[in-house]
Chain A
């Protein structure tokens, strides 16, 4: 398993490194339209061919990978922080606070994740600039994705609340906020790390789903979702197999995160 984790780490670092170097590898950019070669198959000039308006698919895959690999962890960080704040505080305070926080969490969890995401995303302005759509999409993932993590953190903080060292700290007269910040939160770190890693592949897949349904990152900015939307126009799988490259890349990256996750899942135990 260690070898597979090492491979996953290498794959992710390689993916991130190559996508970060997109400006040098594909200097023409993701939006340049080669009008004379629209919908072209792979060639020496365009390794993955061009899309229906002549944009280089390889460049778009590189830039799209960069967006997903940088912003999904950012959204995961936001959701983990929110979960730590809501779940951790609710678990630490206990009683009515915990019940109220968990009632809100249950409400969010009662709705299927994709339904919730689509409903909320559709309420946001759709005809905005690509950059704003990018921020809105990933911000939404971060703001809505904290609930299941909050539940776990509430349980973890609840068990810490009754531990000897927290009781002693409280008995010594340390203010509750300080106890939470200095004693409870640091002990939640392993759970927080695990929740952070769990969220990343979930958010990558969610962005892809939103993109395919036309509610993700707006054109011309590429993302895995908008790249996968191209599959809609396929007549058969054998006709243009290179259109599956973004999907294969997505599977490889998400699998790599899952492999790394197996280590993180072991950590809190």
Chain B
């Protein structure tokens, strides 16, 4: 049963990622100015070279053929060559992925630590001033565009990971606070508190098991948020990661690069969400 459900999740995941790649390729193909290659205007090129460039364009102009060939090459580890940067896409992704992974990882860790610490404190203390204050802080960050936070991080010379953390933090805090507040107001927890049960015991035995599946779902979504936040942070802070690469690929209409990044981003976010979903269901006892 578990294997079948995981296989179904995997199949959906692969189909969605492939469809995402195909849609982005279609989008680039339909974009105005796609067929124009300024290299053809280079006076040094002879007619054969210009014809070779045209042939290469022709191959990419048929979206189905381009995508089919790309997929066939991708199976053998060849992700194509970036038009704007003139380097193999696999090399570019390999070079830039570690930085983005580090930024997103540290950003997520920071945001979750702060959000959970504040949400737990608010639920534990039950002091309205503290609750209002933390909600106001989170609300303020929620109202600041991600790109502004990235700019401010440059201005204050703050690491990009902190900017990502601050972008994700208010979203996580809002959900975590509401979930914990709801859990703490449940009758059996109120009774446990009234009977003088230890707070940490209440938390680990009664609150965490109730909120864990929903918090896991938020964890899956927060990965998507952090990956999205990495784009303005890397683009504006001059950090050479996947986010900056996506930005450059979009501006240059670099079809091979954009398709691969779209598939990669879709896979990462879907994997995070599916993983959180599967673990959440297991915790709820669906698979037990």
Contacts and interface: CB of A to CB of B under 8 A. Distances in A.
Nearest to A114: B228
Contacts of A228: 145, 147-148, 151
Contact of A208 (B27, B30, B147, B235): B147
B33 interface: yes
A119 B24 contact: yes
Given A205-B145, A213-B247, A237-B155, A112 B20 contact: no
Interface string A102-146: 010011001111110011111111000000000000000000000
Contacts of B30: 123
A43 to B, nearest CB: 25
A258 interface: yes
Interface stretch (A48-56, A185-193, A248-256): A248-256
Which 10 pairs from chain A and chain B are nearest by CB? A112-B228, A122-B250, A212-B147, A123-B31, A254-B143, A208-B145, A114-B228, A251-B143, A209-B147, A209-B145
B142 A258 contact: yes
Given A111-B265, A122-B253, 5 more contacts: A112-B265, A205-B143, A208-B148, A237-B156, A258-B143
B224 to A, nearest CB: 5
Interface in B231-288: 231-232, 235-236, 246-247, 250-251, 253, 258, 262, 265-266, 269-270, 273
A227 to B, nearest CB: 11
7 contacts: A112-B269, A115-B227, A209-B147, A228-B147, A228-B148, A231-B151, A258-B143
Interface in B114-143: 139-140, 142-143
B146 interface: yes
B115 to A, nearest CB: 17
Interface in B201-241: 224-225, 227-229, 231-232, 235-236
B28 interface: yes
B58 interface: no
Contacts of B235: 213
Given A112-B265, A122-B253, A123-B30, A234 B228 contact: no
B16 A250 contact: no
B6 interface: no
A231 B152 CA distance: 8
Contacts of B232: 114, 209, 212-213
B147 A213 contact: yes
Interface in B138-193: 139-140, 142-148, 151-152, 155-156
B231 A115 contact: yes
Contact of A113 (B27, B152, B228, B262): B228
A121 to B, nearest CB: 8
A236 interface: yes
A120 B147 CA distance: 18
A251 B227 contact: no
A254 B144 CA distance: 9
B37 to A, nearest CB: 17
B32 A111 contact: no
A13 to B, nearest CB: 19
Contacts of B228: 112-115
Contacts of A114: 146, 228-229, 231-232
B70 to A, nearest CB: 17
A115 B264 CA distance: 12
A212 B152 CA distance: 12
B148 A106 contact: no
B27 A119 contact: yes
A64 interface: no
A110 B269 contact: yes
A113 B270 CA distance: 14
A84 to B, nearest CB: 23
B19 interface: yes
Nearest to A106: B16
Interface string A229-263: 00110101100000000010011001100100000
A118 B251 CA distance: 9
Contact of A112 (B145, B152, B224): B224
